[in-house]
Amino acid sequence: MTHGFETRAIHAGQDAEPHTGAVVPPIYQVSTYKQDAVAMPRAGYEYSRSANPTRTALEECLASLEGGARGLAFASGLAAEDTLLRTVCVPGDHVVIPGDAYGGTYRLFAKVEERWGLAYTPADLADLDAVRGAVRPGETTVVWVETPTNPLLGVADIAGLAGVARDAGALLVVDNTFASPYLQQPLALGADVVVHSTTKYLGGHSDVVGGALVAADAELGERLAFHQNAIGAVAGPFDAWLTLRGVRTLGVRMDRHCDNAERVVAVLAAHPRVTEVLYPGLPGHRGHDAAVKQMRRFGGMVSFRLAGGEAEAVRVCERAEVFTLGESLGGVESLIEHPGRMTHASAVGSPLEVPADLVRLSVGIETADDLLTDLGHALD
């Protein structure tokens, strides 16, 4: 019998430790393992770049939560992305990427992978015809999706894009960082690989940087595992342990993030200084129908634009107090930032440049009334 999501978050990959009965997987802070005879590792562990029991616990749990065959944990989300691209692409290949991808993902393509010989085309992923038009027959090996996107909260129809990728003979990769597996299950909708910055909702406490890949299929999972070891950008044991501790409460945290975000959205939508609220849960949002189809709820990320342009956006970010001015997202504490000057500064001057009047919120799980009071004050 398959257990429910919250049960798997707490138990998958996390059997009690056999020698002591410890109910939490220990932090195996170790690089190497005693072997019983030459080339005879006792429990399959030889060297912690290749595998480490604490990392295995996290990897098995993530595979279970995403409904995939194999999970792999990395030192950061970008390390996971780079390892994935070097596994499934060769120089000369082409990738379709989101027209409003996370700035660091865009920088990876523009400044690193392109020098290696990978071509890319940003496309509006909410428009399936635009994606079909961006695909290069015989050259496109990956359609790379982020949904919802960072920071514009664009939503792409995962099942529709799976069809486009399949027709092109390409893999569909979905960055599920904003939604988390609690709100959205890309592999069940036809994606081949899910990418995470586990730094965000999966870790959930802003105390660890990490990344993950989950492959739908065991053969691709094996190739990714080979490259994970060959390239070596793995999650360390303590980072894997912290991330797994966060994962155990993912469901309850996500529900509270969503509750609070819905209240913040209602206040922003009624505010005279706010010209636009970007949130997939709003019926007027361009991706609302796709979001209703593929998301359990609409998440804790909210962006909005201000009548007073960049100067007002910067001022609101600096006046907020409970919303801490800072990069990153997905932690229990609320964060506010100006994407144009902060997280997405690397996209300035590119097709992925974000509007200067934009403010991004990561709505945390504090008392909702305190968040609303703080925002009201910052917007005064």
Ligand X SMILES: Cc1ncc(COP(=O)(O)O)c(C=O)c1O
Instruction: Return the active site residues.
Output: 49, 102, 175, 200
Nearest residue relative to ligand X (C-beta): 77
Closer by beta carbon to ligand X, 78 or else 162: 78
How many beta carbons lie within 10 A of that of residue 34, not counting itself? Answer: 7
DSSP annotation string for 268-308? HHT-TTEEEEE-TTSTTSTTHHHHHHH-SS--SEEEEEETT
Closer by beta carbon to ligand X, 54 or else 177: 177
Closer by beta carbon to ligand X, 198 or else 274: 198
Classify 263 as helix, strand or coil. helix
Q: What is the per-residue binding string for ligand X in 359-378, x denoting contact by CB under 6 A?
A: --------------------
Query: Residue 109 interacts with ligand X (CB under 6 A)?
Result: no
Identity at 364, one-letter amino acid code? G
Closer by beta carbon to ligand X, 75 or else 266: 75
- Determine the straight-line distance between the first and last CA of the chain, rounded to whole angstroms: 54
Query: Residue 175 interacts with ligand X (CB under 6 A)?
Result: yes
Distance CA 315, CA 317 (A): 5
Give residues 143-162 in contact with ligand X (rule: CB under 6 A).
146, 150
Query: Residue 177 interacts with ligand X (CB under 6 A)?
Result: yes
For Cα atoms 33, 35, 41, give the angle at the middle one, nearest 5 degrees.
Answer: 85
Helix axes of 368-379 and 250-269: crossing angle, nearest 10 degrees: 40
Query: Residue 326 interacts with ligand X (CB under 6 A)?
Result: no
Q: What is the per-residue binding string for ligand X in 278-307, x denoting contact by CB under 6 A?
A: ------------------------------
DSSP annotation string for 161-198? HHHHHHHHT-EEEEE-TTTHHHH--GGGGT-SEEEEET
Closer by beta carbon to ligand X, 87 or else 199: 199
230 contacts 260 by C-beta, under 8 angstroms: no
CB of 327 to ligand X, least distance (A): 7
Query: Residue 209 interacts with ligand X (CB under 6 A)?
Result: yes
Q: Which stretch binds ligand X (CB under 6 A): 56-64, 75-83, 92-100, 290-298?
A: 75-83
Number of shown-chain residues binding ligand X (CB under 6 A):
15
CB of 57 to ligand X, least distance (A): 20
Closer by beta carbon to ligand X, 61 or else 379: 61
Distances (CA, A) of 155 to 26, 78, 79, 127, 150: 39, 21, 24, 10, 10
> Among 211, 236, 237, 339, which residue sits at the site for ligand X (rule: CB under 6 A)?
211
Helix axes of 309-319 and 368-379: crossing angle, nearest 10 degrees: 140
Question: Judging by DSSP bridges, how do beta strands 301-306 and 335-337 pair with one another?
Answer: unpaired
CB of 151 to ligand X, least distance (A): 9
Distance CA 47, CA 61 (A): 21
Residues recorded for the chain: 380
> Among 64, 87, 199, 206, which residue sits at the site for ligand X (rule: CB under 6 A)?
199
Give residues 87-106 in contact with ligand X (rule: CB under 6 A).
102, 104-105
CB of 368 to ligand X, least distance (A): 24
CB of 377 to ligand X, least distance (A): 27
Cα pseudo-dihedral 96, 173, 109, 92, rounded to 10 = -60
Query: Residue 340 interacts with ligand X (CB under 6 A)?
Result: no
Which two tokens mark 63?
């595979």
Which two tokens mark 232?
């070596």
CB of 102 to ligand X, least distance (A): 4
Distance CA 118, CA 141 (A): 10
Closer by beta carbon to ligand X, 186 or else 211: 211
Binding residues for ligand X (CB under 6 A): 76-78, 102, 104-105, 146, 150, 175, 177-178, 197, 199, 209, 211
